Copies of this chain bind each other. A is one copy, B any other.
């Protein structure tokens, strides 16, 4: 957007850059489009859109190609397609059960994606950082990463300050106050910006741009892993809150007579719907991890009463908390990620029954509840989107050097606040 909080006017240069940004976002998010369609969507003249496309093309971000005539009269349209090799990002994810790396190109093409499980121990920050460097070793020296890396995005299962990638608290990793952005920047020896964010916030970003929530402006994403994360889209934009901590739904108090939560409170939603709650209610070890969860799902499918009852309880408590959030946020769409997406077929009916009892009808009649479309990779793909943000926000600030070496952000630009200094 062009007008900032305190600004009441616009210069024409600002408008040109904003339009360039809007065009780059459009091509990145929606893929190949005809020049005339881009023109129609923008309201710009043929000349205006042509100049903007030419500028993106000069920077290597898009190519133009004449569409083959389709039997319609008139000149064939020119197709504008994103060059997925011209700018790529490295996406990393630090989950409790796994580490993952992906290489994603401009336009959203996933060049590479690799996830490795790890036993649920409390890995130190040093070990985790070293493992990530190792995991990415294979792709870093080769094209397109070698030639066109513009940024690194990181998803982490913890409460994170986007400004500098500082992880305040990641209870299920056993981390507190970790300068993760700075640590990764050092370990990767990177010249490109590293942006770190909470996994659920990135999950909703990815589902909104490329998953179940495309084209939907008011979305609530909740994801069950060991903890319970959430992300909220309000009027098409992520609910960040005062410091980027918005959407932390796991610590909504729902049960004054409930269990102690690791956050220090009692009866947080996470204590009623998280993985530990599921396992304990099914008569298994709360710390049993994913293997035990799979066993509960198998038992439930086979009709074992404890497993069925445990899932039923999760469904009811999911509905209880969701009803409140639907009343407060009035979303069009609730996307269930992680564990919640997996168990949705079994718990959907119970969940809906609870919503019917508790959510206000005016909200309920307009909200759909669906499982996540990107599955477990939503946060990783969201980390890629985060890393593209500086380029999308101001393509004019990025230069491709003649020898097709990495994009360097020109030095006269102020870096966006959320990038760590590297």
**Which residues on A are within 8 Å of B, measured CB to CB?**
1-3, 5-11, 14-15, 18-19, 22-23, 25-26, 38, 41-44, 48-49, 159, 161, 168-169, 217-218, 230, 232, 234-237, 239-249, 251-257, 263-266, 320-321, 323-325, 327-332, 357-363, 366-367
Contact = CB atoms under 8 A, between A and B. Distances in A.
Given A2-B3, A22-B3, A242-B330, A324 B10 contact: no
Contacts of A2: 1-3, 10
A250 B329 CA distance: 12
Give how many copies assemble into the complex: 2
B239 A234 contact: yes
Contacts of A1: 1-3
A360 B263 contact: yes
Contacts of A25: 8
Given A245-B362, A253-B321, A256-B320, 4 more contacts: A8-B22, A15-B15, A241-B329, A248-B330
Contacts of A9: 19, 22-23, 42-44, 48-49
B358 A265 contact: yes
A266 B324 CA distance: 11
Contacts of A243: 330, 362-363, 366
Contacts of A252: 324, 327-328
A359 B253 CA distance: 9
B253 A256 contact: no
B242 A357 contact: no
Contacts of A245: 330, 360, 362-363
A57 to B, nearest CB: 16
30 contacts: A2-B10, A5-B217, A8-B19, A8-B25, A9-B22, A9-B48, A10-B18, A10-B19, A10-B44, A159-B362, A168-B362, A169-B362, A234-B246, A235-B237, A235-B239, A239-B239, A242-B332, A242-B367, A245-B360, A245-B363, A251-B324, A252-B324, A252-B327, A253-B321, A253-B323, A253-B358, A256-B320, A265-B358, A266-B357, A324-B324
